[in-house]
Chain A
């Protein structure tokens, strides 16, 4: 419990520091934020007035403390392009992104472990080499390019999947999703809106596959390496000597013990998915945080950028925290450190 508190307090410090970095970056903008807010037609007087309204005329430290106070109160500022509260914009989009990450992680874990097991089983043979190439390809693939290729192939040529979007446009009129939690596919399931669920899953496959490539590469390599390490240990040799079946040894004894590091790398690779969504959502017009982030970056929408950066830092911390917890659960020695 003590360690938990220690972790939490250090996490808070990191967040505070992260907010400082974001704030500093946003304040070194060469362009005038006030100008970005009202547009190029603003007069000098308008601009000066707005600087006072936005608090930009005050000293930087004062601005920073104000920013922290406001952020803690849930006031993350207003997006310059949509004029909506940043926190609202984020809350509206976050569920779609989380669903995308969830499915991508699922694909990566299933394919990654399966391929890793397969490669370990056929170590040194052709299958192993092919999977090794696939793993390295996974971490070498630009997500935006993979997205375009899949679109061209499976949406353009084969028309198996829709090219962009989260649902068909008609769905809004035919089978509208009742908003309960805000997670579109989840909501469609709990409200029994089967048509919407299927439609959503259909739209999900290509983006989730694209996003999963990087994690797949990491997980399959880790799974292979760990399985081989476990398989070379004495208790496996003993089990073999006792004449236990290879299948039993492989799946019951070896895989279970190879799992903790695999889960750790899975958690860590989720961190890559956070920025991965920026590119995947951009390519697939996914209405989530990622596309919001890219649009905000391009239009130098600094309140939105600051909000997204803070959110990403929080997400990153949470992921690392969960990874630590899982790690500790699987390996009690961790608590003693």
Chain B
């Protein structure tokens, strides 16, 4: 038990990382238990209460209310679940697709390697996020399509990362000997190569979670992601956009949720990288 705890100690290695970890736990808690901890679960889920429109932050509504009189804090708490789910789904699928293709490319080499790498370069020849924006436009706005669009532009990064690692491991003597001894490729890939690429994979996944939340929020902000009446942070910033000078709290606090989530994920991603790759940490 003690060694397990020690394994997670990097989450609290300094004050900043500690604060980020606490923040991350709050977001995860809100994502799981949102409906039970939100001050007003009905409004959080979307029920309008127009008599209470545009109440500023105060005792009854800590973060104020939106244009339909819904408690903003409840809405933001309800927004945690889709935000984290999108991040997990996009990174998860991108990592699975990318790892599979990267393993094949790195281990097999030859024409299939060239093919996979050329295709992934093709996807990477667009500026970040642009391909997702275009894809979601043509697929049609919406949460699921935004998710697909983000996966489309994310998997090549994993394919390239894993390919490099796989081709390094592949030329190690023990792998070459296993192959010479007639161990099937499938077993070598699963037993030796996959195990060796886990660390860079975890580091990359941790680093990407925040970026995906940011990207999904951006899509939602220009109206291509989640659609009303869903409680989505990016969408909520957009809804408060024209009210920013008077009902400033709507966009400010919704955007703050995105910012804090991305920030804490990024800080933890950094800590995780330092933890696994002490060479960088020493600098």
Which residues in A have their C-beta under 8 angstroms from that of B137? 297, 300, 305
Which residues in A have their C-beta under 8 angstroms from that of B224? 297-298
10 closest Cβ pairs, A-B complex: A145-B255, A140-B263, A140-B262, A274-B127, A156-B245, A275-B129, A297-B137, A14-B125, A316-B127, A17-B122
Nearest chain B CB to A261 CB, angstrom units: 12
B223 within 8 A of A: yes
What 20 additional pairs, Cβ within 8 angstroms, besides A14-B122, A140-B210, A156-B244?
A14-B125, A15-B125, A30-B139, A132-B16, A137-B259, A139-B266, A142-B258, A144-B237, A145-B258, A145-B259, A148-B244, A148-B251, A151-B245, A152-B244, A274-B127, A275-B128, A275-B129, A297-B133, A297-B224, A309-B130
Measured in the bound complex, the distance between the Cα atoms of B280 and A225 in whole Å is 9
Measured in the bound complex, the distance between the Cα atoms of B258 and A137 in whole Å is 12
Given known A18-B126, A25-B138, contact A294–B258 (CB-CB < 8 A):
no
Which residues in A have their C-beta under 8 angstroms from that of B234? 142
B267 within 8 A of A: yes
Which residues in chain A, 278-337, are within 8 Å of chain B measured between CB atoms?
278-279, 282-283, 293-294, 297-298, 300, 302, 305, 309, 312-313, 315-317
Stretch in B27-35, B107-115, B160-168, B214-222 touching the partner? B214-222
Measured in the bound complex, the distance between the Cα atoms of B262 and A225 in whole Å is 22
Nearest chain B CB to A268 CB, angstrom units: 10
Measured in the bound complex, the distance between the Cα atoms of B221 and A152 in whole Å is 18
B183 within 8 A of A: no
Task: Verify B266–A140 contact, CB threshold 8 A.
Answer: yes
Which residues in chain B, 138-174, are within 8 Å of chain A measured between CB atoms?
138-140
Q: Which of B127, B256, B258, B259 has the most CB of A within 10 A?
A: B127
Measured in the bound complex, the distance between the Cα atoms of B121 and A300 in whole Å is 26
Task: Verify A294–B128 contact, CB threshold 8 A.
Answer: no
Which residues in A have their C-beta under 8 angstroms from that of B221? 142, 144, 279
Which residues in B have their C-beta under 8 angstroms from that of A137? 259, 263
Measured in the bound complex, the distance between the Cα atoms of B244 and A152 in whole Å is 6
A65 within 8 A of B: no
Measured in the bound complex, the distance between the Cα atoms of B27 and A185 in whole Å is 45
Task: Verify A142–B214 contact, CB threshold 8 A.
Answer: yes
Which residues in chain B, 215-253, are within 8 Å of chain A measured between CB atoms?
217-218, 221-224, 234, 237-238, 241, 244-245, 248, 251-252
Task: Verify B130–A312 contact, CB threshold 8 A.
Answer: yes
B37 within 8 A of A: no
Mask of B257-280 contacts with A, CB within 8 angstroms, 1/0: 011001100110010000000000
User: Chain A contact residues (Cβ within 8 angstroms of B): what range?
Assistant: 35 or more
Nearest chain A CB to B116 CB, angstrom units: 14
Which residues in A have their C-beta under 8 angstroms from that of B127? 271-272, 274-275, 312-313, 315-316
Which residues in A have their C-beta under 8 angstroms from that of B26? none
Task: Verify A275–B125 contact, CB threshold 8 A.
Answer: no
A244 within 8 A of B: no
A residues at B contact (CB < 8 Å): 14-15, 17-18, 21-22, 25-26, 28-30, 129, 132-133, 136-137, 139-145, 148-149, 151-152, 156, 163, 225, 228-229, 271-272, 274-275, 278-279, 282-283, 293-294, 297-298, 300, 302, 305, 309, 312-313, 315-317
Interface of A is mostly: helix
Measured in the bound complex, the distance between the Cα atoms of B135 and A287 in whole Å is 24
Measured in the bound complex, the distance between the Cα atoms of B244 and A315 in whole Å is 33
Given known A136-B267, A297-B133, contact A142–B252 (CB-CB < 8 A):
no
Nearest chain B CB to A82 CB, angstrom units: 17
Task: Verify B251–A294 contact, CB threshold 8 A.
Answer: no
Task: Verify B255–A149 contact, CB threshold 8 A.
Answer: yes
B283 within 8 A of A: yes
Task: Verify A129–B251 contact, CB threshold 8 A.
Answer: no
Nearest chain A CB to B37 CB, angstrom units: 24
Which chain A residue shows the least CB distance to B258?
A142
B22 within 8 A of A: no
Which chain B residue shows the least CB distance to A282?
B222
Task: Verify B244–A21 contact, CB threshold 8 A.
Answer: no
Cross-interface CB contact of B125 among A143, A152, A317, cutoff 8 Å: A317
B134 within 8 A of A: yes
Measured in the bound complex, the distance between the Cα atoms of B244 and A18 in whole Å is 38
Q: Which of B125, B129, B258, B270 has the most CB of A within 10 A?
A: B125
Given known A29-B138, A144-B218, contact A152–B252 (CB-CB < 8 A):
yes
Which chain B residue shows the least CB distance to A17?
B122
Measured in the bound complex, the distance between the Cα atoms of B248 and A163 in whole Å is 14
Which residues in B have their C-beta under 8 angstroms from that of A30? 138-140
Which residues in B have their C-beta under 8 angstroms from that of A302? 138
Measured in the bound complex, the distance between the Cα atoms of B241 and A161 in whole Å is 18
Task: Verify B218–A17 contact, CB threshold 8 A.
Answer: no
Task: Verify B223–A151 contact, CB threshold 8 A.
Answer: no
Nearest chain B CB to A291 CB, angstrom units: 10
Measured in the bound complex, the distance between the Cα atoms of B248 and A156 in whole Å is 10
Task: Verify A25–B135 contact, CB threshold 8 A.
Answer: yes
Which residues in B have their C-beta under 8 angstroms from that of A271? 127-128
Task: Verify A228–B259 contact, CB threshold 8 A.
Answer: no
Cross-interface CB contact of B270 among A15, A136, A151, A293, cutoff 8 Å: A136
Measured in the bound complex, the distance between the Cα atoms of B125 and A148 in whole Å is 31
Which chain A residue shows the least CB distance to B222?
A294
Which chain A residue shows the least CB distance to B19?
A133
Measured in the bound complex, the distance between the Cα atoms of B138 and A279 in whole Å is 19
Which chain B residue shows the least CB distance to A316?
B127
